[in-house]
A and B are shown apart, each in its own frame.
Chain A
Amino acid sequence: MRTRVFLLLLIAVAIVVFFAARLVSNDYVFFAGYTVLQFVVLATAWNILGGYTGYVNFGSAAFFALGAYATVFMHKLYPLPLPLLIVIGAAVSGIVGLGMGYLTLRLRGAFFAIATLALAVVLQTLVVNWDFVGGSRGAYIIRPNEIALIGPYIQYLFLLMLALAVIALAIARGIERSQLGYGFATIRDDELAAEASGVPTLRLKLIATTLSGALMGMAGAPFPYYIGYLQPSSAFGLEYAVNSIAMPMIGGTTSWVGPLIGAILLGSLQQIATVTISSAVNLLIVGLLLVGFVIIAPNGIVGLVQGWIRGAK
């Protein structure tokens, strides 16, 4: 029941956010907001695997790009409505996540991390060599100007990403309070002991990678419509890999709130910094924050606040 209440609450907040954004009669709010929401989805997805089970995925960009290129592929094949493309993107990324997990998760955790790191390079090679989806030249997707009922197309994209953020957060919180979540936590804390007590660790890890990969694919699927011209270097951008690790790490990895806080803070900061300073400097800031936080505040902002409350009592 409480999960349902939480979902309704999230939807209510999402509706308020959407109409508040419409009150500002400037499309820039939607463009910037879309990016921040996209990071909410990516950070939450990363945290389902990284934060809950303790397995690091460095290939967020690869899963994101898979979703985006699934859209480009389908777009060339047959025009489908965007929500369906999101489902397809989720399926493709989820399957790749499952396959990767199956090959590497039976071994030490480091192998999975390394394989994800290499995955991005390989998939990018694949896309660059694949002319059907544009190859190294990139692919154009013509975005309609308007859509029925909502108006400007960017508002439609924003609304979709808002819905995806709601879905991702609801899944993350649902996992935390379910048996699945406790299973994940046992893997994170002591995998050997969990295995010995009969926790099906491999199956749980595969569920986490598939789910996490699918959510990242979902986040990537509308991206070609957002950007209009998709290049391998923009879809596989390192900023996705870095941000989807940095945001949960800075916010806090133990609950769904951490990635949300991290994504909103870092996402907004980068939106401002990209406009005012350069994008390289703003990526440097993210990298330094990541290194600083993992050294000084291992439990992120959430951990800091919890410690502060405990100290005040």
Chain B
Amino acid sequence: MGLSFDLLINAVIAGILLGGFYTAVTIGVSISFGILDIVNIAHPAFIILGSYIAYIVNARLGIDPIAVSIIMLPVFYLLGAGVYQVYYESFERRGQESLRGLSFFFGLLFVTEVMLILVFGVDYRYVEAPYIGPSWRLGVMDFPLRMLVPCITALALFAALELFLSYTFIGRAIAAVAQDQLALRLMGASPVRIKRIAFGISIATASVAGALLIIIQPVEPSVGREYIGRVFAICVLGGLGSLPGTVIGAMLLGILESFTATFYGPSWAPAVAFGVLLLTLAFRPAGLLGR
């Protein structure tokens, strides 16, 4: 059984590293869907946008993709704030978010994808960085750096957001928006402004997630679609509105997918998220750390 033990332990490691990356992909949705109750299904499209920006700057100027994504954070924040403003004016204020709001985000997802196809074509794009390729070995354990670096970056992003939400006034106001908007108003904070800030932050995380994505795998415009199921499965599994829950959900899904890929073949991996999503909804809709 020596062979399968190596295989097993490396499948677990690969799963944890993948789960770390999934944290970055999901954390934005965890804020928008989990806390703000905005079903932003276009989030993967913003991630792909982040990938392409990282790709362009990396290809032209040779700057590290993660550095690019951090420089781009304010731009994505403004983009998110703008999208929220349109969403609020057109749907949320009129109480039409369920049907038309969802269609709006679906339209955004679609338009972004088609525009990227028109500009860049459907070729796979990739970035270059020193940590793509080499790998650390610890006995039989294998840590490919192209997975390890995104995993650590994602966990740093999670830690920063968790600290921000727990210890700053705006961060706590964001948590309050989900619980009691009237009380928030009485505290002198406008719920719309707070939600705009929170949504801006959630889209800003897509910039980082996009850079991590293109480090991990080559990207073409329709790759984002594969992440819709994953992102929401993780969100629901971890428990809506809980960032630590998101990390746990992401790790679990990462490990499950890694096992599936190792023992049944990588082409089955996309189906895992859907199974997890349906099973969670059927047996524990509140998720692992749900309220």
Residues of A within 8 A of B (CB): 50, 54, 56, 58, 103-104, 107, 109-111, 113-115, 117-119, 121-122, 125-126, 128-129, 238, 242, 245-246, 249, 253, 280-281, 283-284, 287-288, 290-291, 294-295, 298
Main secondary structure of the interface of A (DSSP, over half): helix
9 examples of A-B residue contacts, CB within 8 angstroms: A50-B99, A113-B39, A117-B228, A121-B270, A122-B270, A122-B275, A284-B114, A290-B106, A290-B110
Main secondary structure of the interface of B (DSSP, over half): helix
Interface assignment of B98: CB less than 8 Å from any CB of chain A:
yes
Beyond A111-B236, A245-B103, A287-B111, is A118–B98 a contact (Cβ under 8 Å)?
no
- On chain A, the residues within 8 Å of B278 by CB distance are 103-104, 115
Interface assignment of B96: CB less than 8 Å from any CB of chain A:
yes
CB atoms of B115 and A284 under 8 A apart: yes
Cβ-closest 10 pairs across A and B: A118-B229, A291-B107, A287-B111, A122-B274, A290-B107, A287-B110, A284-B114, A110-B39, A114-B232, A294-B100
CA distance A281 to B114 in the complex (A): 8
Beyond A117-B228, A128-B267, A129-B268, is A295–B114 a contact (Cβ under 8 Å)?
no
Interface assignment of B271: CB less than 8 Å from any CB of chain A:
yes
- On chain B, the residues within 8 Å of A109 by CB distance are 98
CB atoms of B228 and A121 under 8 A apart: yes
- On chain A, the residues within 8 Å of B117 by CB distance are 280
Interface assignment of B104: CB less than 8 Å from any CB of chain A:
yes
- On chain A, the residues within 8 Å of B275 by CB distance are 122
How many of B's residues come within 8 Å of A, CB to CB? 45
In chain B, residues 221-277, which have Cβ atoms closer than 8 Å to a Cβ of chain A?
A: 222, 225-226, 228-229, 232-233, 236, 265, 267-268, 270-271, 273-275, 277
- On chain B, the residues within 8 Å of A103 by CB distance are 278, 281-282
- On chain A, the residues within 8 Å of B100 by CB distance are 249, 294, 298
CB atoms of B86 and A288 under 8 A apart: no
Residues of B within 8 A of A (CB): 33, 39, 41, 86, 90-91, 94, 96, 98-100, 102-104, 106-108, 110-111, 113-115, 117-118, 222, 225-226, 228-229, 232-233, 236, 265, 267-268, 270-271, 273-275, 277-278, 281-282, 285
B90 is contacted by which of A56, A111, A125, A294 (Cβ under 8 Å)? A294
CB atoms of A287 and B114 under 8 A apart: yes
Beyond A109-B98, A110-B102, is A294–B107 a contact (Cβ under 8 Å)?
yes
Extra inter-chain contacts (4) besides given A238-B225, A281-B118, A294-B100, CB under 8 Å: A104-B281, A119-B274, A245-B106, A295-B104
Beyond A115-B278, A117-B228, A118-B232, is A294–B103 a contact (Cβ under 8 Å)?
yes
- B228's nearest neighbour on chain A, judged by CB, is A117
- A238's nearest neighbour on chain B, judged by CB, is B110
- B285's nearest neighbour on chain A, judged by CB, is A107
Beyond A284-B111, A284-B115, is A291–B104 a contact (Cβ under 8 Å)?
yes
CA distance A238 to B102 in the complex (A): 16
Beyond A114-B39, A114-B41, A291-B108, is A125–B229 a contact (Cβ under 8 Å)?
no
